[in-house]
Structure 1
Amino acid sequence: MDTGTHIVMGIALGGLAMADPVVATHPATWTAVMTGTIIGSQIPDIDTVLKLRDNAVYIRHHRGITHSVPAVLSWPILLSGAIYLIFPEANLLHLWLWTFLAVFLHVFVDIFNSYGTQALRPFSNHWVALGVINTFDPIIFGAHVVALMIWAFGADPVWTMSILYAILFFYYVSRFALQSAIKQAIRNTIPGTNDVFVAPTMRYFQWRIAADTDRHHYVGQAYGRSINIYDKFLKKPMPENDLIQTAMKDKNLDAFVSFSPLYRWEINQYGEIYEVRLIDLRYRSNDYYPFVAVAHLDEDHNILNSYTGWIFSEDKLRKKLDFSHN
């Protein structure tokens, strides 16, 4: 989820913590717990700083080790210890418990996005991505804001947050039901479908879709069970030549492949420059595929430059690569 949603989730969990008699009757413990739930709801995303290094490192590692089983167990201990130094009158056990729930909730809700997490590490490096909730879901965020406002106007926080979570439970169930119906509609629309990717958007009924058959890639959009196919690409095996082998060893293309399960490739030549481009088919936006990995190689197949990330125009991509085709 996005940062704003994680913040309101942390505050809401702090309100629910009033159900704990130790927290409710001890002001110092409640203050410490609220601090722990807010920070704990954010701490797994500390790996966002990797973006300062480069996109390849960020794509490969974001929501990786910081969302893993060891991290979920370690963050609450570290945070609780630090917060306890500030609030030594607080009950350390209950501070740890609610901080742990905040960290766990962060990782748990992230698996419902299409990006997913490596929440099963070290047992598996598989990306767990259920793809039913957009990274920013206005209904989830809005419901939390309304609940927090009701609490601010004097309502009982335990009942308020309990009702909030009950509503969100049924909301998540409805998202799974809609996703399942869309997948079945895709299989009915495109006979012979093997892999189906269905990604949510900020609109409840509108979803991005991508599907594979033995011969083609299909990309489109679903509105409810109504399927619209916008693009159809012939599937071509990637050549096993020196150009491709060299390009695929580049850190940006390698990171892209580790993250993207559904992409197509292109090889273009501009004078003495060869371009190898990988295009993720899951994120079509305004007739453009913005998530790409590109490598430029010379005639001797030496990599000149490369890039992976989100680019919404060819001009911006050329600036990132510091290269002109003219």
Structure 2
Amino acid sequence: MDSLTQIALGSAVAVAVVGRKSSVKKAALWGAVAGTLPDLDILIDYGDALSNMVYHRGFSHALFYLTLISPLLALLICKIHRQMPLYRHWLLAIWLVLITHPLLDTLTIYGTQLALPFSNHPFAVGSIFIIDPLYTLPLLLGLAWVLWRGKRALAANTAALVFSSCYLLWGLAAQQHVLQVAAKQPVSSEARVLVVPTALNTLLWRVLLVTEDAYYEGFYSLLEKNSDIVFQRYVLDPELYQRYQQHPDVQTLAAFSQGFYALEQQGEQVVMTDLRMGQQQNYAFSFVLAAEPGQPVSRLPRQLQLAETVSWVWRTLTGELSAANQLPRNLTSPDAESEPDRPAAAQYSSH
């Protein structure tokens, strides 16, 4: 999740655990610090763009390592504030703040390596977008109220945590519903299926189907009664996959994306893309494959057009656009029409 959300969650958890025993402001401050710590790994340069993507949310998000450092951080806090009698309370608070950070990240689609050092599997549920106001705002409001009113308002902070947690459960339930709808589409019988929310909400969902020779992208709104999904079909080149399947960088991305990736020949370059994050023509992570294994991998720049994306989501949810519609052209790459080597696209109706 985004940094503001992790700060809000960390502060809210710390206030809930230790706010009655210690100062509410101290609890909120140290909760924010501990809630930020795991994401500091983004400052580490692992050598190239692909490695930076794959190793982010690695050891700093591992439950084992976070559990190990919790006693030390709690001890430091108690020494600074001379609150050694409250050590057990601070230990519980800091441990919960540290582990709820990666657990929340796991509900996004990026991938969180919770089980290091025992496994480097990137756990990714994909039931919430990386930024979702309906999750974050209640936490901020509860914190603001308790910081203003003090311990008399601890119930507001607790209520905000409960509401936000229930919202996460709602996201999981909504995702399962959309997965059931996606499973009824004819092409899904021979495809790997991925369902993730679109930007800032859990009502409009992106459905991705990947087969051996193509992938399909469609959208489904929970506000629409129609269960049909209209997909855009993008052709893959099996020979390209065969040629590069042993390339270490391709194997790395394939494992990290859990098979939801694409290879494209663009002129003299081979581009590999993580299909889970972003949408067609505006993916978050695309890389130029190095000519020789071992050479640094470069990342293609992305034009992030959040305002247009939010507008499209809103117009779709309010019925102005059908969920079957793809993103408007101004959300696609400005060179899309002049790139003859991009995959061919065709509309595919599920019924």
Residue 257 (structure 2) pairs with residue 262 (structure 1)? no
Residue 113 (structure 2) pairs with residue 122 (structure 1)? no
1:4-38, Cα deviation, whole Å (9 max, x unpaired): 001111221232125xxxx63454xx665444322
SS in 1 for 2:124: coil
1:126-166, Cα deviation, whole Å (9 max, x unpaired): 11111111111110111112222332453734321222232
Match of 2:299 in 1: 308
Structure-1 separation of matches of 2:124 and 2:253: 16
Distance change >3 Å, CA 150–CA 36, structure 1 → 2: closer
**In the alignment, is the contact (CA less than 8 A) between 1:114 and 1:130 conserved in 2?**
yes
Structure-2 separation of matches of 1:218 and 1:36: 45
Structure-2 separation of matches of 1:256 and 1:6: 26
SS in 1 for 2:50: helix
Match of 2:193 in 1: 196
Distance change >3 Å, CA 141–CA 42, structure 1 → 2: same
The structure whose RCO (Cα within 8 Å, separation 6+) is larger is 2
Structure-2 separation of matches of 1:239 and 1:208: 25
Unaligned runs of 5+ in 1: 316-326
Residue 234 (structure 2) pairs with residue 232 (structure 1)? yes
Match of 1:143 in 2: 138
Query: Identity of aligned pairs, percent?
Result: 23
Q: Which amino acid aligns with 1:76?
A: S
One of 269, 290, 301 as aligned partner of 1:275? 269
Instruction: Report the TM-score when normalising by structure 1.
Output: 0.79
Q: Which amino acid aligns with 1:295?
A: L
Distance change >3 Å, CA 228–CA 144, structure 1 → 2: farther
Match of 1:176 in 2: 172
Match of 1:13 in 2: 13
Q: Which amino acid aligns with 1:307?
A: S
1:196-247, Cα deviation, whole Å (9 max, x unpaired): 1111221231122211245531122222256331233246254555xx378x
Kindly report the root-mean-square deviation, in angstroms, between the aligned alpha carbons of the 2 structures.
3.0
Structure-1 separation of matches of 2:56 and 2:66: 15
Q: Which amino acid aligns with 2:302?
A: I
Structure-2 separation of matches of 1:25 and 1:287: 52
Structure-1 separation of matches of 2:44 and 2:254: 18
Task: Report the Cα offset of residue 100 of structure 1.
Answer: 0.8
* Aligned ranges 1:1-326 → 2 under 5 Å: 1-18=1-18, 24-27=20-23, 33-51=27-45, 54-90=48-84, 91-154=86-149, 156-191=152-187, 192-201=189-198, 202-213=200-211, 215-224=213-222, 227-234=229-236, 236-238=238-240, 240-241=242-243, 244=244, 248-249=247-248, 253=250, 255-260=252-257, 261-269=259-267, 274-285=268-279, 287-295=281-289, 297=291, 306-308=297-299, 311-312=302-303
Structure-1 separation of matches of 2:147 and 2:90: 23
Structure-1 separation of matches of 2:287 and 2:334: 13
SS in 2 for 1:126: coil
SS in 1 for 2:157: helix
Structure-2 separation of matches of 1:175 and 1:47: 27
**In the alignment, is the contact (CA less than 8 A) between 2:191 and 2:210 conserved in 1?**
yes
Distance change >3 Å, CA 167–CA 17, structure 1 → 2: same
Structure-2 separation of matches of 1:102 and 1:70: 14
**In the alignment, is the contact (CA less than 8 A) between 1:59 and 1:256 conserved in 2?**
no
Q: Which amino acid aligns with 1:71?
A: Y
**In the alignment, is the contact (CA less than 8 A) between 1:197 and 1:210 conserved in 2?**
yes
Instruction: Report the TM-score when normalising by structure 2.
Output: 0.74
SS in 2 for 1:154: helix
Distance change >3 Å, CA 87–CA 303, structure 1 → 2: closer
SS in 2 for 1:41: helix
1:302-321, Cα deviation, whole Å (9 max, x unpaired): 99874136534588xxxxxx
Structure-1 separation of matches of 2:266 and 2:147: 59
Task: Report the Cα offset of residue 75 of structure 1.
Answer: 2.8
1:246-277, Cα deviation, whole Å (9 max, x unpaired): 8x245xx55433422212212344xxxx3222
Task: Report the Cα offset of residue 98 of structure 1.
Answer: 0.8
SS in 1 for 2:299: strand
The number of residue pairs the alignment matches comes to 297
Structure-1 separation of matches of 2:153 and 2:29: 16
Distance change >3 Å, CA 2–CA 294, structure 1 → 2: same
